[in-house]
Amino acid sequence: MRIAYFVNQYPKVSHSFIRREILAIERLGITVQRIALRGWDAQLQDPEDVCEKAKTVYVLQHGLAGLLKPLWRVLRAQPRRFCQTLSLALRMGYRADRAWPYHLVYLAEACQVLLWLQQSGASHVHAHFGTNSAEVVMLVHALGGPPFSFTVHGPEEFDKPQFLHLGDKVDRAAFVAAVSAYGRSQLYRWVAHANWPKVKVVHCGLERAFHEVPSVAIPQAPRLVCVGRLCEQKGQLLLLEAASRLAARSIAFELVLAGDGEMRGEIERLIAHHGLQQQVCITGWIGSEQVREHMLAARALVLPSFAEGLPVVLMEAMALRRPVLSTYVAGIPELVRPGENGWLVPAGDVEQLTEAMADCLRQPVEALQRMGAAGHARVLERHDVDTEAARLAEYFKATA
């Protein structure tokens, strides 16, 4: 069987779960064609990402002008179907998150993707995220391309489902994957009851090699690590408020913010405002090996998110036998069990976040080791990439 994956940007440092999924699908004997809008000029540190970039074709590598020839070829070959799909693209632009000219660009992108799929003979195309990537593969199908599906992660899809016309995309899809039961419930809100059977739960997964990393003792150093893009939804500003309270109580701690993003300047100013330069550091963008090193050097991972789907970084920390501290948001409570493998606090509650961090810092290493072991067992049970890929492959085969 030959299928295709379509992604906005691939490979991408923060989307290593897509790479893992593709490689696991290929281990099942399915050939995967990689198609992305962008990413040909990305500076990558992970050798696997570098390898994946060489296998990927890029829709926008030659700019919008490069899409004119594919668009003309599809229009000339099937004018009636093209006009029907054009009408669909314009409808998708009505009361949408982006103005209708964007949707005309999506149609042009779909023409290029269609030609590549016809050349390769792919029998199914799968997209990640229910945003423009899902619309492009939907338009490919409308132009006469193969059946399509897409994975919904959240929170963006749940923030503006009507403006993304999420229900229309599900209606035309062969199936839709949600990464958690919570995500499935949110899709149920926006699709017809008759389409509920289309919505499947397929977890993001980790390779067995990630699970089988030799156990590294939790350090005595009072260090916590937060891994993620520096942005409003990840809650780093609240985390710094909690850190300032720990400092005011003379509780010793170190906090590593592993990542970068649009809020870095604001975060740096808040660190200076609270005088936390000696306790808090920002790494900037780092590769997966460095992320792993920071996790292993910490007592726990802390991620006080305001909005999520189900963060893969929690799975990675638990696979490394590190407790996690996060919030009662989206699919997180499906993975994290308070008191067993970590802490959960109400999102936005700086007092409870402070107390949970203080409790983690004062726990004896032996107690943290037990929590880490419980987390390792939990994530191995729920998030093995080969198990999840096999489930996804069955859905692909059912559409062939």
The yes/no answer on whether domain 209-382 falls in CATH 3.40.50.2000 is yes
Summary count for the chain: helices (H), strands (E): 18, 13
Give mean pLDDT, residues 152-178: 95
Q: In the prediction, which pLDDT does 101 show?
A: 92
Average pLDDT over residues 253-281: 97
State the pairing for strand pair 223-227/199-201: unpaired
108-154 tens-digit pLDDT:
999 999 999 999 999 999 999 999 999 999 999 999 999 999 999 99
Given a cut of 90, is residue 47 above it in pLDDT? no
Phi, psi of 254 (to 5 degrees): -125, 140
pLDDT in the model for residue 44? 83
Task: Supply the pLDDT for residue 16.
Answer: 87
Q: Report the C-alpha gap between 139 and 158 in whole angstroms.
A: 22
**Do 220 and 198 meet the contact criterion of CB atoms below 8 Å apart?**
no
Instruction: Provide the mean pLDDT of the chain.
Output: 95
Residue located via tokens 């906090």: 255
The set of residues, in sequence order, having a beta carbon less than 8 Å from that of 293 and lying 6+ positions away, is none
Q: Up-side HSE of residue 343: CA atoms within 13 Å toward CB?
A: 22
Residue 393 has what pLDDT? 98
pLDDT at position 363: 97
Q: Delimit the domains of the chain by residue range.
A: 2-205+384-399, 209-382
Longest dimension (CA), the chain: 73
pLDDT (tens digit, 9 = 90+) per residue, 1-30?
999 999 999 999 778 899 999 999 999 999
Distance between CA atoms of 95 and 323, rounded to whole angstroms? 43
More confident residue, 46 or 353: 353
Helix, coil or strand: residue 343: strand
Q: Is the pLDDT of residue 212 over 80?
A: no
Query: How many whole angstroms separate alpha carbon 115 and alpha carbon 110?
Result: 9
Tens of pLDDT, residues 229-264: 999 999 999 999 999 999 999 999 999 999 999 999
**Comparing 2-205+384-399 with 209-382, is the CATH topology the same?**
yes
At a CB cut-off of 8 Å and minimum separation 6, what does 328 contact?
344, 345, 346, 347
Give percent of the chain above pLDDT 70.
100
Q: Percent of the chain scored above 90 by pLDDT?
A: 90
Query: In this predicted structure, what is the pLDDT of residue 54?
Result: 96
d(CA 284, CA 229): 9
Nearest to residue 40, comparing CAs of 62, 21, 14, 18? Answer: 62
Cis peptide before 311 (omega within 30 of 0): no
> 99: pLDDT confidence band, cut at 50, 70 and 90?
confident
Tokens of residue 172, six digits? 């035309």
pLDDT, tens digit, 9 for 90 and up, residues 323-376: 999 999 999 999 999 999 999 999 999 999 999 999 999 999 999 999 999 999
Is the link from the previous residue into 11 a cis peptide, with omega within 30 of 0? Answer: yes
Tell me if the domain spanning 2-205+384-399 has CATH number 3.10.580.10. no
> Is the pLDDT at 211 greater than 80, yes or no?
no
What six digits make up the tokens of 294? Answer: 């920071």
